[in-house]
Amino acid sequence: MQVVKYAFQQHGDERGQLVALEEYRDIPFQIRRVYYMYATKEGVRRGFHAHKSLEQILICIHGTCKILLDSGTEKKIVSLEKPYEGLYIASDMWREMFDFSPDAVLLVLASDYYEEEDYIRNYEEFLAFVKEKEAKTWR
């Protein structure tokens, strides 16, 4: 499994830091939806789903958190600790967000609007989806 973590360009001086993100330049897709999570309670895990076609970039713009990525055959945990780093998550990838610091703000840039039909919320269905997609690739 390839994990893609972007280090976005920072612009700073004595006033502080600025990170500007542009679709197709810094983000590899058109941004159609932006949302963020904050005030996540201690011990809470979020996510527990995959997407059939949606792509995302996750940026912990304040605090820290961890992301479990699961391709169906391999799992990796990625820490997000810097407000200028983004984690790219392709479609067909199960994700769980956890270990949020009390001050964490997790920003998500998504390639499409919210569509419930794109979600795979059952892990067994996710594994079947990945297996079926692999079988189609080999034909």
Residue 72 pLDDT greater than 90, yes or no = yes
Active site residues: 49
Q: In which residue are the tokens 């994990």 written?
A: 3
The model's confidence at residue 138, banded by pLDDT at 50, 70 and 90, is low
**Predicted confidence (pLDDT) per residue in 4-26, tens digit:** 999 999 999 999 999 999 999 99
**Predicted confidence (pLDDT) per residue in 35-49, tens digit:** 999 999 999 999 999
From the number of C-beta atoms within 10 Å of its C-beta (0-12, 13-18, 19+), residue 138 rates as exposed
Report yes or no: 108 and 99 within 8 Å, Cβ to Cβ.
no
